[in-house]
Every structure is written in C-alpha cells, then in structure tokens.
Copies of this chain bind each other. A is one copy, B any other.
Amino acid sequence: MSTVEKAISLLNFFTEDAPEWGLSELARQAQFDKATTRRLLVALANSGLIEQHTVTRRYQLGAGLLRLARVRESHFPLLQVAVPVLRDVAAATDETVHLSEFGGRGLVTLHVEESTKANRVSVAVGQTLPLHATASGIAFLAFSPPQLAKSYLRKSLTAFTRHTLVQPARLDDAIKAAAEHGYSRGEQGYEDGVFSIAAPILGLDGYALGSIAIAMPQSRSTKATTERHIQAVRGAAQAISTRLFGEQPAPRQARVA
C-alpha cells in the first residue's frame, strides 16, 4: 500500500458514527504506527482534507472535501440524479433500496433509502459489496468489461453464508443469467435471510458503472413482490442512466455470442 493510499485509508475511518478521532485511537484502529499516523494526518490537514480541533486535538474531516464533492457532483451528478429515483422506488416498494458504484475500492455503497418497516434490511453507506455474494455485485459483473469478470472468477471466492456462490462455474452461471435477464437475484449469498434484486446502471461505454438494488427479508418475499421489484430496479437503473447520459446504445455485456 503506497503512502498516499495509507493516508487516504485513514479518511475512511471517519463515519457518521465516528466523525472524530484522537491520534492514538486512530493509529490503533488503522494498525499504523502512531508517528506514521500523525505524519499522515498532518499531511492531510495541510491539504485541507482533515482538520484538527485546537482545544481537544481530535481530528475531523475537513472542508476541502466539500469543494471537491461539489465539483464531482457538478460534473457527474450521480447522487443528485439517483437519490430521487431511489426515494421513489423505496416509497413504492417500502423496502430498502441502495445504490453502489464500482471504483478503486470495489463496489461501494453510495446511498441507501431504508424501508420504514421495523423488519428491514440495513446497508451502510461506504460499505464495499463483494461482487460474487451480492445481487448488486452480480448485476455489475454481468455488464462489466469481459476481462474484469474473467479475472474475478479466477480469484478465491469467500463464503459469507452457505448460500454464497464460491464455485466459479456457478457464479459464471449466475452472471450469464443476469446478463440475459437484465437483473440479478441475491439469495442470501452475503447474509442469511436477505433477498435482493439488482440491476446494473450503465455508463456511456455501455458497461456498468454500478448497481441499484432492492433488499428485503427473505421471509417477506413472494413471487408477486419479486416481479414488481424486477420491474422497479430495471426501470430505476434505466432512468438513472438516461438522466446522466441521455439515450444510449445497447449494453455491452461480459458475455457476448
């Protein structure tokens, strides 16, 4: 891990639940030496991505992030476009709907609209979703560049539940099915009792840039809800792509004749 990656990995410890950290506790959590951690924090502070309280000496995320986030959304308004769509789907289905985007850290959750029901699926913003064990991941793989999917299949696949697809042949089958149908189903592959339907959000190149998924307790799933959710995520994914890029060419799938 390069020095830059080390420094930025520190930023990822700051969450809504833990918005402030002392030096020593962050070093412990990050498993970096205290001196190293401090040097990295000082560099981040000098660059405006971190701020240190003058009194408590604790660290928080800095205002420099706000400008960068604004530039990002101004140019590529994924959240601005997707959040209303997710809200609509969550309102229509009363289930948890979440958006994820594929990047340097894998398929990362960007936004979640939770169901109002007490018995609901919770997903954390910032969480990385394993590609083989989630509906979002499989939907993404089904419409990703062929060699990304191919190299993923060669990796050692972690089992999260006894339903996780850890055999490459079975994962490949699921990817093919998703490519054919335009959506994927996640049947307790990442967590027992959770059922999901996901669709890929396509970019200008025709490949998936991320996914949108509806997640619910398995016990609440029926054939009727499944059909409705399939329609909803496919429609939502299409709406997000269209609003971001306009009408587009056919998707380019991992599998092609």
Residues of A within 8 A of B (CB): 2-5, 7-9, 11-12, 14-16, 19-20, 39-40, 43-51, 53-55, 60-76, 78-79, 101, 103-105, 108, 110, 125-126, 145, 203-205, 207
B65 touches A65 (CB 8 A): yes
Docked Cα-Cα span, A171 to B121, in Å, equals 59
Docked Cα-Cα span, A145 to B52, in Å, equals 14
**A74 (CB) vs chain B CBs: closest residue:** B16
Q: Which residues of B contact A79 (CB under 8 A)?
A: 66
A118 to chain B, nearest CB (A): 24
> Which of B4, B12, B15, B126 makes the CB contact (< 8 A) with A4?
B4
A126 touches B60 (CB 8 A): no
A48 touches B145 (CB 8 A): no
Tell me if A's interface is mostly helix, strand, loop or mixed.
Answer: mixed
**A45 (CB) vs chain B CBs: closest residue:** B104
Q: List 9 A-B contacts (CB under 8 A).
A: A4-B43, A19-B76, A45-B103, A47-B104, A61-B68, A61-B71, A65-B68, A66-B69, A67-B125
Interface-centre pick from A3, A64, A74, A203 (highest chain B CB count, 10 A):
A64
Q: Which residues of B contact A203 (CB under 8 A)?
A: 54
**A111 (CB) vs chain B CBs: closest residue:** B66
Q: Which residues of B contact A101 (CB under 8 A)?
A: 63
Known interface pairs A3-B3, A4-B40, A47-B8. Does A72 touch B66 (Cβ–Cβ under 8 Å)?
yes
With A16-B70, A53-B205 known, 20 other A-B pairs at CB within 8 A are A2-B43, A3-B3, A4-B43, A5-B43, A12-B68, A14-B72, A16-B74, A47-B104, A47-B105, A49-B104, A51-B103, A51-B104, A54-B207, A55-B205, A61-B71, A61-B76, A63-B72, A63-B78, A63-B103, A65-B68
A14 to chain B, nearest CB (A): 5
A75 touches B19 (CB 8 A): yes
